[in-house]
Structure 1
Amino acid sequence: MFRTKIFEAFKLSALATKYLLIVLISKNQKEINMKSEDIFHINPAQLRAARSLVDWSAQTCADAANVGVASIRRAERRADGKLGLLPAVEAAIRNALEEAGVEFIPENGGGPGVRLKKD
């Protein structure tokens, strides 16, 4: 019922609705100001770069996201450009890194990337 209301009210795609619900339910309850077209999957290189930007080990990232360290390591090793994680796991990792100050940049003609958020 709740999911249907969000979907109808904001006319979000199914992926955007799932991401929004996962983040709203997350332990930090952070506010989301995203449009459905802003939501995209991150890739293994972005995950590695994001961890590097905040100087996190795979274990630190896993702890912050409340996921297994094997999930982080396996996702970063994939060669097909996809993390290969369940949407909830990907959202938890992304949320943890964003809370640490990382901003994920979508493929917009210049290639996907990461950067630190401005203060």
Structure 2
Amino acid sequence: MDLTPSLVNAARALAKIDRQQLATKAGLEVETLANFEDGLSDLDAAARDKLRQAIEHFGVEFLPPTDAGPGLRLKFNEQETGQLLGWEGEGGMPGEDDVP
């Protein structure tokens, strides 16, 4: 699925995160993300991959495109997402994230 500006904007709205949070997680400048979302510039394949991984980190799942177009959904509900993000900051050695 092609990562479009409108999908990124919708993913942020669904996850209830701002550009700063997403850009930081993706390793991008906020201005770079803003320009992409606003259709003013494009991202290379590596940046798009990092952006997609960051979006998925916040619990947004990309759905296979249908005749109606691409789609998104939350992998977890708001309470589960909040708990997961809280657990990540509790310290200790980080491990592999194998949450289904």
Q: Matches of 2:71 and 2:43 in 1, distance apart?
A: 19
Please give the root-mean-square deviation of Cα atoms over the aligned residues, in Å.
Answer: 1.8
Q: Which amino acid aligns with 1:94?
A: R
Query: Using a 3 Å threshold, how does the CA distance of structure 1 residues 106 and 84 change in structure 2: closer, same or farther?
Result: farther
Q: Matches of 1:106 and 1:73 in 2, distance apart?
A: 25
**Across the two proteins, how many residue pairs are aligned to each other?**
77
The secondary structure found in structure 2 opposite 1:112 is: strand
Matched, 1:76 2:76: no
Select the residue among 13, 23, 26 that pairs with 1:52: 13
Paired residues for 1:13-52 under 5 Å: 40-52=1-13
Match of 1:31 in 2: none
Matched-pair contact (CA < 8 Å) for 1:75–1:84: yes
Matched, 1:65 2:26: yes
Normalised by the size of structure 2, how large is the TM-score?
Answer: 0.68
Match of 2:62 in 1: 104
Query: Using a 3 Å threshold, how does the CA distance of structure 1 residues 118 and 56 change in structure 2: closer, same or farther?
Result: closer
**Runs of 4+ that moved beyond 4 A:** none
Q: Which runs of 5+ in 2 are unaligned?
A: 78-100
Which structure has greater strand proportion? Answer: 2
Q: Which amino acid aligns with 2:74?
A: L
Q: Which runs of 5+ in 1 are unaligned?
A: 1-39
What's the % identity of the aligned pairs? 34
